[in-house]
Amino acid sequence: MNILASDKQPGDVVPNIATLLQRNALRFSDKIVFEEKKNEIYEGITWKAFFENIQKIAANLYRLGFKKGEKIVVFSPNRLEMLELEMAVMASGGISVPIFAYFHKETAELLINHSDAKFLAVAGELQLNRIGNDLSIENVIVFDSIDLSPFKRSLPYKINSFSEFLKYTSTNSSAADNEDKSGALLYDAKADEICLNMYTSGTMGIPKCVQLTHLNILSQQAGLEQIWKLDENDRFLSYLPWHHSFGGIFERFTALYNGATMYLESGYGKDPKEIMQNWKIVQPTLFFSVPKVYQSLVELTQSDKEAENLFFHSGLKFIFTAAAALPQTLSREFEKRGIEVREGWGLTETSPCSTLTDPSLKREPGVVGKPIPGVTIRIANDGEIQVKGPNVMKGYYKNDLANSTAFTEDGWYCTGDVGEITANGLKLISRKDRIFKLTNGEKVIPTEMEALIQTKCHYITFAMVIGGGKEYPVALLFPNKKALTHPNYEISPEEGCFCPRSLNELGKCLHGCLHDANCGISQKFSKIKYAIIIDDELSIEKKTLTPSLKVAPNSVMQAYKAHIENLYGAKNKVDEEVYIIKLDIENVVTKIN
């Protein structure tokens, strides 16, 4: 087996969340830890006030009956109250269980009951209206300042306003002084104690509940500080949701650990124009995001000179990307302006960061860098990437079947990703469960072709190649509609595209792009024979994208089943605004049907 490890050693690991928060409250007392917009103006809270609030919340939770090892589900979008509550829970020996803020009733109730939590925190009315009367919880905490009386009458739980948790009482102040520290922050919490249960984004099937410890989270920061130098003067413009590991662990704890200021992006990353308005105010020194959002921002800068100057400002140290490969065209936009692009790889189960790219090396498609200090990676005989280190989870909650296959006999975590070790680090190839066999028995790695298509054609947002149990592979292509209608978005022919201005013209553009993509695949059986341009967008609401903006393959295949059958010759009638491209298997492109 090939094994890869960092040539650096991690620094000293902070023992637990309570110790980290106390340390930083002393170090950065009057520095701002977090800011969010109120009446269109950013308002912040100092480390001193932030830490005092955490102590009050922990003491009041104890008064309400919350004990060490108990769980609280947090059903809310990012906000100060959520940050304070989660830190108080983790720092006082409890376990925080964040879930996507806009889950529908059925999914929210499923996860709340699965979690075995007795406490639930919600943002406001929207979430309160999505919980029923038969949950296992006993107490509900509401962040918004709203009239709670209707919900107290209709729901059988104790319903509490979060504002009450920011007050001391004579009862809880004495509880905080107990010798066993019940109700106070636990500075002696053991590193291997669980403090966070996080549901995976579930690109393939039902989400698993990952159990993470203080060591899992804080060992990552001890490794990262050997690689990059961040401090209390750094500014994060943050939108990544905290129910997901990229935002809730990696970005959030990177900011907290280094004493940097987090500015909550008021549009939650959904509107590039609003991101740019906030960017102008904050002037972030680093930005953590996913390729889809970078694509939208770069497109905005191409039609707005002020936005271009704002976005690529001289104080931007680096941008960080994960979740999917950043297209080469976007990489070049940052490269030509001297802004570092760092990419990472990992899973919720690895807290999440396992590898980072080296900005001194030229970026290569699929290469996600070398392990961070303290983490080791190896490639199994079947190509699966396996991880060992202090960042690896304790196990899945209430899932014996998943736990039985999660680790090898010698203790390595099986990631389900397939990859190889190169001179510049780990190269991702595919998810193991996405590799499929054709009827002739040949294996096809769809992600190779998907990456080629998206590299060749800059007017495609998502490409999905399928063909399990069929004679040949086909592709579902989802266009970038903004780029198609953008007056200043142009790519020269030598870069692979011919500047379409409509969906029909995109079909003509793809003649060349798909030809080039097919030429990039050496095995004849892996070349796509038909591709279909679908005039639709993948989304979280349709469940074709996960909350972390990854494609959900099973959902996509179900949603566009008729289109897939059409590609394989079925008689199904599909929408007239769909264009099918037929390709000769020898790479000669024929007409659009």
State how far Cα 97 lies from the chain centre: 16
Query: What pLDDT, on the 0 to 100 scale, is given for residue 222?
Result: 97
pTM, two decimals, is 0.84
184 confidence band (pLDDT: 50, 70, 90): confident
* CA 224/CA 230 separation, integer angstroms: 10
Contacts of 567 (CB under 8 A, 6+ apart): 474, 530, 531, 532, 580
Round the average pLDDT of the chain to a whole number and report it.
87
Q: Is 3.30.70.330 the CATH classification of the domain at 435-592? A: no
Model confidence pLDDT, tens digit, residues 25-42: 999 999 999 999 999 999
Average pLDDT over every residue of 96-114: 95
Range 17-189: architecture per CATH:
3-Layer(aba) Sandwich (3.40)
Assigned fold of 1-14+232-431: Rossmann fold (3.40.50)
Q: Is the pLDDT of residue 332 over 90?
A: no
Query: What pLDDT, on the 0 to 100 scale, is given for residue 587?
Result: 34
* CA 292/CA 476 separation, integer angstroms: 18
Contact 98, 123 (CB under 8 A): no
**Element at 331 (helix H, strand E):** helix 328-335
Average pLDDT over every residue of 172-180: 41
Domain boundaries defined on the chain:
1-14+232-431, 17-189, 435-592
223 confidence band (pLDDT: 50, 70, 90): very high
* CA 475/CA 473 separation, integer angstroms: 7
Query: What pLDDT, on the 0 to 100 scale, is given for residue 573?
Result: 43
Residue identified by tokens 């955490």 is 54
480 confidence band (pLDDT: 50, 70, 90): confident
Model confidence pLDDT, tens digit, residues 320-331: 998 777 877 888
Percent of the chain at pLDDT > 70 equals 88
Contact 296, 272 (CB under 8 A): yes
Query: What pLDDT, on the 0 to 100 scale, is given for residue 553?
Result: 86
Query: What pLDDT, on the 0 to 100 scale, is given for residue 23?
Result: 97
On the question of a common fold for 1-14+232-431 and 17-189, the answer reads yes
What phi and psi, each to the nearest 5 degrees, are found at residue 208?
Answer: -100, 155
